[in-house]
Structure 1
Amino acid sequence: MLALGFVVIGRNEGERLRRCLESILEQSIALRREMLGSESDSDESVSDLILTPIVYVDSGSDDGSVDCAKNLGCDVVQLAATRPFTAARARNAGLERLIEISPAVEFVQFIDGDCSLQPGWLSKAIAFSSVNPEAAIVCGRRREVYPQKTVYNALCDIEWDTPIGESNACGGDFFARRIAIESVQAFNSDMIAGEEPEMCFRLRKENWRIWRIDCEMTSHDAAMTSFRQFWLRNVRAGFAYAERCAMHATKKRPYCVREISSIFFWAFLIPVAALTLAPAFAPISILILMAYPAIVIRIFLRRIKLRNSIRRSFVYSMFTLLAKFPQFLGATKYFFTQLAGRKAAIIEYK
C-alpha cells in the first residue's frame, strides 16, 4: 500500500481549516477506493482511511483551529511562541512529526489551511511521480475560490495559473517525495517568506526536478479584500526576492537578480530620474515617465496573447506595475535588517 501522509499548516483559518481537513479525508477515501477497486462504503480496507496520517501544525491560533483539527482525527503540533512563527518552520515541524508517527511514508502532500484538496489530484500526482523518479515535487493548478469578489482575489488566481511542464519552483501546496525533501534538509526555517522557491532552488542544484502537471490541485480562499492586504503581500514578496538573491545569487547562477533589478528599476530608478530632471528638463522627465504606460501595455498584450480576457489582462498589467513599489519597500527592508544585524518579523497580510 502506498505510504502517503499530509502536512497542513495554519493560523486562525477557522472554517477554511475545517473545509481543508475534510477535503483531505474525502480525497484520501476516494484514493484508497480507487487503488483497491472498491465501490462499497462498508469495505474494511476503506475504513482504514480515517487513520490516514494528517499532521496539522498550528502557529498560535486562538479561534478553535486546534480543537477542530483534533476532532477530525489529526495529529496536532502547536508551535511554541518562543521563536517567530513562519510557514517554513511549521512545515518542517509537520514533516518531522509525520515521519515520527509514520516512518514508512514515501510521499507528502503539503497544503495550507486555507486551501481544499481537489478531486482526482492525489491519484494524478502519484501516477506522475511513480513514472518520474527524478521528480521531487509535483504541483497542479491552485485556483482561487472567489476571484470575482475582489480584484485582489482575481490577481491571486492569475498569479497561480503557471505554465504546464517542468518548473523552477512551487507554491505552498505541493506533492513531494520525502527522500528528495530530506536530501536538502527541507525548508529554511529562518525565512519569513519565499521558502518554497528557495527549497526548490536547492533541489534543482541536486538534480531533482519540479513539475507542474495539467490537473486541478487545490482551491484557495485568499480572503483578500483590501488594498492594504495587497500592499503587505507584495512587501513580503519583495523581502523574499531580496533574501533569496542574497543567499544564492552568483555569476553562474544569477538567482532572483532579474526580479530585484526589475523592482529597483521601476520603483526607484525611474521615479528618481524623472524627479531629478524635472526642474531643468521637464520634457525628458515626462518622456522617462512614459515608460510606465509602455510597460503596462506590453504586459497587457502579453496576457491577451495568452488568451486572458481583456478585463483580467488589464487588471493584471496595472497591478503588476503597482506591485513594484511595495516590493521595493520589502527588498529595502531586507537589506536594512541585514545591515542592522536583526531578524525581520513575519509580514502578515491577513
Structure 2
Amino acid sequence: MSASIAVVVIGRNEGERLKRSLASVQAQVTRIVYVDSGSRDDSVAHARNLGIEVVELDTSEPFTAARGRNAGFMALQRAGDLPDFVQFIDGDCLLVPGWIAAGVAHLESRSDLGIVTGWRSEIDRDRSVYNAICDFEWHRPAGPIEACGGDMMVRARAFLTLGGFNSQVIAAEDDEFCVRMRKTGLGIERLPLAMTRHDAAMTRLSEWWRRAVRSGHGFAQVGHLHSVHFRAERRRVWLYGLLLPLLALGGLGLLLAGSVQAGGLIVAAVLAGYGLSWVRTVQGLIRARLPPREALHHALYLSLSKFPNLIGMLTYHFRRWQQRDMHIIEYK
C-alpha cells in the first residue's frame, strides 16, 4: 500500500463500543484521530492511553457529526503531512479487517472517484426489530452510487477543496457532502466488501421514533440545500404523514356532521391508500431479498415512520424560520 491513509473516529459517550472501535482501527492503521463530542464517560482518557491523538470539541457550540469529522480532518492538516486518503468511522462501529487496504487500492486505481464505501452491517441484528431495520438499510447494491453514510474513505485533496462537511447539517450530513462531491465531477462507489460493523443497540420504540425524527430533519435540511436530493422522500412524508391524515380528519368530521356516505368514502379511501402503500412496500422488500415475515414487520415501521419524519421536517423548518441553531437529535 503506497498511498498514505489516516482514520478519523468520532464519538460521544460510546463506552465499550468506542474501545472496540479503536482497537479495530489500530489493527489496520497507525495514524488515528479521535474526536470527542462532550463525552461524560472515559472515552477521552481511553483514547489517549492508547496513544491516539484526541480532539475535544468546544461544548459552547452545537455538536454535529459533520463538525466532528471536520475537526478530525483539520487535526491531520495541522500536522503538516496530509494523507492521501482519510477513512471516517463512527465510534459505535468496528472496522472490518482488510477494508483499508481494499479501499486504498481502489481509490489509487480510479482517479475519477472521490469516495469509496463498503457494506455496513449490524453486530447484533436479531436483538430487536429496530436493529434488523438498520441492518437492511445499510446493505445496498454495490457499484456507482449517489450518496453513502458517514463511514467512508475520502480523497483528502477533494475533501479539502470542498471545505469538508457542512457543520450546520445535523442529519444526513453525509448525503449533503456526497451531493457536493459529485458536483465536482468525482464519483462515489460502493465496493462489494464488508467495511464496518455497527452497533445500533436500539431496543425501544422511543429510540426508533427519535431516529426517524432525525431522518425527517435531514430530508428537509438537505432538501433545502439541494432541492433534488430526498425529493421523493419528502413527497412521501407530506402525503402519508400530513395530507392523508388531514383528509381522514375531514372525513370523520363529515361523519359526525351526518354526511355518512361522503365521510365514509373519504375515510375508506385514506385507509385504502395506506393499505396499498404497505402492500407495495412489502413487495419491494421481498424483491430486495428480505424474508417475507421480516418484510411484513419492516413495511409496517416504514409506513409509521412518516409521522416522526414529518415532525423532523417541521422541526427543521421551524428552526430555520426562527433562525435557531441546528442542534443534534440523539436517539440513544
TM-score higher than 0.5: yes
Alignment equivalent of 2:180, drawn from 197, 202, 209:
202
1:312 Cα deviation from its structure 2 partner = 2.2
Aligned equivalent of 1:23: 24
SS in 2 for 1:125: helix
SS in 1 for 2:127: coil
Alignment equivalent of 2:296, drawn from 307, 314, 327:
314
Give me the whole-angstrom Cα distance separating, in 2, the residues matched to 1:161 and 1:311. 18
1:104 Cα deviation from its structure 2 partner = 3.6
Q: Tell me, which stretches of 5 or more residues in structure 1 are unaligned?
A: 29-51
Aligned equivalent of 1:259: 233
SS in 2 for 1:148: helix
Give me the whole-angstrom Cα distance separating, in 2, the residues matched to 1:175 and 1:295. 36
The alignment covers a number of residue pairs equal to: 323
Aligned equivalent of 2:286: 304
| 1:214 and 2:215 aligned | no
Q: Which amino acid aligns with 2:27?
A: E
Aligned equivalent of 1:340: 322
Q: Indicate the RMSD between aligned Cα atoms, in angstroms.
A: 1.1
Aligned equivalent of 2:9: 8
Q: Tell me, which stretches of 5 or more residues in structure 2 are unaligned?
A: none
Q: 1:115 to 1:283 in 2, by over 3 A?
A: same
Is the 1:27–1:118 Cα contact (8 Å) retained in structure 2? Answer: no
Cα-to-partner distance string for 1:308-341 (whole Å, 9 max, x where unaligned): 1112212221111111100000001111111122
| 1:275 and 2:276 aligned | no
Q: Which amino acid aligns with 1:175?
A: M
* Identical-residue share of aligned pairs (%): 41
Q: Which amino acid aligns with 2:134?
A: C
SS in 2 for 1:172: coil
Aligned equivalent of 2:267: 285
Give me the whole-angstrom Cα distance separating, in 1, the residues matched to 2:109 and 2:298. 36
Is the 1:271–1:289 Cα contact (8 Å) retained in structure 2? Answer: no
TM-score for both structures, normalised by structure 2: 0.95
SS in 2 for 1:330: helix
Give me the whole-angstrom Cα distance separating, in 1, the residues matched to 2:329 and 2:91. 18
Give me the whole-angstrom Cα distance separating, in 1, the residues matched to 2:128 and 2:226. 36
Deviates more, 1:110-119 or 1:331-340: 331-340
Stretches of 4+ moved more than 6 A in 1? none
Cα-to-partner distance string for 1:122-171 (whole Å, 9 max, x where unaligned): 12111211111111111101000011101111110001111111111111
Cα-to-partner distance string for 1:237-278 (whole Å, 9 max, x where unaligned): 1011101111121xxxx2222211110100111111122123
Aligned equivalent of 1:58: 36
